[in-house]
Structure 1
Amino acid sequence: MVAEYRHALHPLRDAPEMLASATVLVVENDPVTRELLETILQTAGCQVLAVPNGNAGLLSLCQQQAQIDWLVTRVRLPGLVDGWLLADEYHRHNPDRPVILLSETISDAECPSVDAVFVPPHAPMRVLEVLKGLAGAKLIPVVSHELQRAA
């Protein structure tokens, strides 16, 4: 399955310069989605730190904050550390840069005031499209709810 994506990615090498040299922290508990995101982002020229849970994500943010340019995290993660907490920690050092949050559904009550772009977790290519757009744009806080409601 991953090999199929690699063949389809050649046009994606035109990522903006800022993205092509960026380090992206991916926090995703599903191993298949995590591997797909890692492969897609690496093919676009990103350095990727991929971790399986919020605890490892928080540790990576604390230890390597200066090297992490973008955060892609699932909202709901197993354990005590979720995507909201990771977004808050990331924004302490990158207050004007949105986080890409992976979520099937988010209600308004669950959405704190955080600069984020919401992407369904089953759309890893959309993550790259969003990152390319953000990297090529002036970094202005953005809140965009691009969720497909579960039927």
Structure 2
Amino acid sequence: MSVTPVVTPAEAGVRFWLPAFAGLTKGLKNQVILSKENGGGSMAQKATLLIIDDDPITLGLLRTRLGKAGYVVKEAKDGSEGIDMAEKARPDLIILDVRMPKVDGWQVCQTLKSNPITRLCPIMILTGCSQDVQELYGLQCGADAYITKPWDARQLLDTISKLLTQSTASQDVRSEAAQQRAREYIQRVVRVVGSLPKAPHVEGMAAQILTLATSFIAAYQTAVTNGAMEMLSKLPLADQRAEELIYWLGLLRDSNASDNSDIPQLLAEGTVLRQIFAATLKKASRK
């Protein structure tokens, strides 16, 4: 996956780092579409933001400003608490300071972006570190945007709105990114099954997992390659098969039939796919 740095010339201090997914940006060529809607527009209605910062003054200012804009705000006072809360609360976006006790912002960013459960969540670094080398390191850690303190309220709200819009687009089952993710997930499932020992009790689980994987990918492909009505009718079946796959992979893990380290990752990845399905169905049902 290539990453292209995009600097918004109209807003000093803000940089976006967009994954160059084929099909996801659809002719935009990694351009950022600047929106000047009020404080993030309808995105602010239900979006949950997690602020990870050890400074009580910064937390108070952000809590007040973002609350007025309509966001649900959660807070963590250090990096360790932030990692734990991000995995449990599943926020829509994370605002992250760099200089914190226990675990610094760079480590938090790397940890969250390497976790299948949290890696889709956009991370905006908000820090007093203004050097270019710090911004470059933020890119390497996986951050999606970088704002330096002192921050401007309009700049902050616009950046949040854009990141939420980009995140919503990537969490659509019809996007190329999501389709690639589903294909790679099934390929990994098949590889794990192929590595299992030849034992009667294991072969039964393996056969069930392969059957579910085949049914899952068939339902998924039907859902994403046809019209909206077909998607609404077939995607729930793909979601059901994903849920069953998670169940059987959990049984496989608990049976100790295999010490394959991919199984816990597949369980987490399956959960993420189901989150993408739920987000797509929710959005489609509003239309």
TM-score by length of 2: 0.39
- Residue number in structure 1 paired with 2:137: 110
Question: In the alignment, what sits opposite 2:162?
Answer: 133
Amino acid at match of 1:54: G
Residues paired across the two proteins, number: 127
Confirm whether residue 122 of structure 1 aligns to residue 150 of structure 2.
yes
What pairs with 1:63-82 in structure 2 (closer than 5 Å)? Answer: 63-65=88-90, 68-79=91-102, 81-82=103-104
1:88 aligned to which of 86, 92, 110? 110
Change (3 A) 1:88 1:122: same
Structure 2 partner of 1:5: none
Say which SS state the counterpart of residue 74 (structure 2) adopts: strand
- Please identify which structure carries the higher strand content: 1
**Structure 1 letter corresponding to 2:46:** S
| Separation in 2, partners of 1:73, 1:131 | 12
Do the aligned residues in 2 keep the contact of 1:19 with 1:131 (CA within 8 Å)? no
Alpha-carbon contact 1:13-1:43 (below 8 Å) kept: no
Consecutive unaligned residues of structure 2, counting only runs of 5 or more, are: 1-36, 172-287
**Larger relative helix fraction:** 2
Letter in 1 for 2:137: E
Does the CA contact (< 8 Å) of 2:79 and 2:101 recur in 1?
Answer: yes
| Counterpart residue type for residue 39 of structure 1 | T
1:55 is the counterpart of 2:77: no
Higher relative contact order (CA 8 A, sep 6+): 1
Aligned-residue sequence identity (percent) comes to 22
Deviation at 1:119, TM superposition (A): 0.6
